[in-house]
Structure 1
Amino acid sequence: MTITIAQHSAHPLTVNRLGYGTMRLTGLQIWGEPANRGEALEILKIAVGAGVNFLDTADYYGEDVTNRLIAEALHPYSPGLVICTKVGATRRPDKSWVPYNSPENLRASIENNLRTLKQEQIQLVHLRLMGHGAVPLAEQLGAMYEMQQEGKILHVGLSNATRAELEEGLQLGPIATVENMYGYAQRTTVQLPHGANPGGEEVLDLCEQHGIPLIPFFSLVHGLPNAGDKLAAIARKHHASEAQINIAWLLHKSPWILPIPGTSSLAHLRENIQAAHIQLSTEDMAFLA
């Protein structure tokens, strides 16, 4: 199964429909170095070796930890590997998440990502939205499109976007992808310590209408504890874990969904990759509705 990013552009990107989110490769609270650096590097190599050719990262993971791990494990990068990063946020020493979204901030983040990932152009960059605050969305996206024209960015996407923000973004320029929190048991907005996280269900129909891949994050973190008996029943039927059925559900929910389950465990990585081969029937999906 593949999906095409920016299908109507001059430079579309086609990737396999199971990516890998690198956030969990950091230390506790998405801060500092991983507990087992060797395993983190091995996870990246095994994932790409198994056919995963879409990696999601950000320079504020760690900080800069996941970018450096990716470069150490995989550079020079194989043809067809798409590395997607995010800008628009940063971390304070108290580990809080704060906006970093002025045009100057965004440019500094892009330059840092280019340096740490050892790239001349980033194929896909998500603008992480944390409330417009003092910087209007038009100004944030304007800075992104300016760097796209300069060749520093190939495609621009949105992360953590409400329906209204996606609608506004589509009026301002091409939006290649949307990355929102989404999973079987976590479909709408969630309030987290660092702010609201809009759910994937709020924008999925718009993404489908415009041929925009929806990239779910945190689908295995916040949703599974509240999944209920239905997910467990389907997991038993397919001799799989509930986490695997969550991934399979996302893949069957819409051809425009590109899951990026993350893990710091080699065993869980292999389970996640196997989940892409689980075939849920029409009856299964109806039962899980």
Structure 2
Amino acid sequence: MTTSTPIAPDCGTFDIAGKKVARLGFGAMRLTGRGIWGEPDDRAECVRVVRRALELGVQLIDTADSYGPYISEEIIREAVHPYPDDVLIATKAGLTRNGPDAIETAQGPVRLGPRAWPPVGRPAYLRQEAEMSLRRLGLDHIDLFQLHRVDPEVPLEEQVGELKNLQDEGKIVAIGLSQVTVDQIEQARRIASIATVQNRYNLTDRSSEDVLEYCARERIGFMPWAPVSAGELARQGGPVDRLARRHDATPAQVALAWLLARSDNMLPIPGTSRVTHLEQNLAAAHLTLGPEEITMLTDAGRETA
């Protein structure tokens, strides 16, 4: 793709923190080393990815302090600071890092799973990380600051309450939550206005269906993570594969097109560390699935869930 014409806004926009942003954004988790740990293999390419995303009309960039840790935020600043007025930078705090997602052993890689991402929601820690994200990103305020996980050891009202304090001080504009239930969203909304929710959701993982529907009713932006995962549906001859061939598209484009059609508050944030993959993903803004195709994918995903 050689165009410099913005394409991301072609799938519609959604209002967050007083900004109207294209619904197809960019998730910056992959701007790091293997296992979401340390420096990427090609930092210059990661910088190009962020710059190319903005060139193609992306207005929502989502990152977190734990990506690297800190590396993703630093690369975003290197790539685009000072930020255009129409670009919304979202970051998160509440997950710490003990190491990469997997470690190499004599028997092969061993995934650390949750041990690599322990939640920490103590108010003092959340404040510290917000202050450090401001410094790393080069901002005087963060457009969207999200609680990366609810810490079960800390009352939810204390975690959200500290974000509300930061908001009242002008250090963050809008508050978001990640991987939460409807009940937790309602608890949080008794303390502060919630602009977005970021839960795992894709063609084959509908475990947050009730959260998506709640957010749609309440006009809360829904940012699905792992958005392009299609599992068995993308196997050769499967429904995603068949539609990709029919539309001369990639399976990831089909998965993203389905998400965008699912609800107008849907804000997919596919991530990559390669310009080629970025361009392919954003081309989903121009892929329109027919009603029967959408229904077919919806039904097929439910059967595999």
TM-score by length of structure 2 reads 0.86
Q: Hey, which bits of structure 1, 4+ residues long, moved more than 4 A? A: none
SS at match of 1:260: coil
Q: Do the aligned partners of 2:143 and 2:173 also contact (CA within 8 Å) in 1?
A: yes
CA distance in 2, matches of 1:179, 1:129: 10
Aligned to 1:81: 87
Q: Are residue 30 (structure 1) and residue 45 (structure 2) matched?
A: no
More off after superposition, 268-277 vs 85-94: 85-94
How many equivalent residue pairs?
A: 271
1:165 and 2:174 are equivalent in the alignment: no
Distance 1:110 1:284, change over 3 A: same
Structure 2 counterpart of 1:213? 221
Match of 2:177, SS?
Answer: strand
The structure with the larger Rg is: 2
| CA distance 1:21–1:94, change in 2 (3 Å) | closer
Counting only pairs closer than 5 Å after superposition, residues 88-237 of structure 1 correspond to structure 2 as 88-93=94-99, 96-130=116-150, 132-188=151-207, 199=208, 201-220=209-228, 223-227=229-233, 229-237=238-246
Partner of 1:193 in structure 2? none
- Structure 1 residue 94: Cα displacement: 6.5
Residues 3-42 of structure 1 correspond to what in structure 2 (within 5 A)?
A: 3-6=13-16, 12-42=18-48
Mapped pair 1:57 → 2:66: no
User: Does structure 1 retain, via aligned residues, the 8 Å contact 2:164–2:191?
Assistant: no
- Whether contact under 8 Å (1:5, 1:177) holds in the other structure is no
Q: Which residue of 1 aligns with 2:12?
A: 2
1:189-222, Cα deviation, whole Å (9 max, x unpaired): xxxxxxxxxx3x23011101110110011122xx
Residue 301 of structure 2: aligned partner: none
Q: 1:184 to 1:94 in 2, by over 3 A?
A: closer
Structure 1 residue runs of 5 or longer lacking an equivalent are 189-198
TM-score (norm: length of structure 1): 0.90
The range that moved more, 119-128 or 90-99, is: 90-99
Report sequence identity in percent. 39
Deviates more, 1:92-101 or 1:17-26: 92-101
* Structure 2 unmatched ranges of 5 or more: 1-10, 102-115, 299-305
- Letter of the structure 1 residue corresponding to residue 34 of structure 2: L
2:276 corresponds to 1:267: yes
Distance in 2 between residues matched to 1:57 and 1:150, nearest whole Å: 22
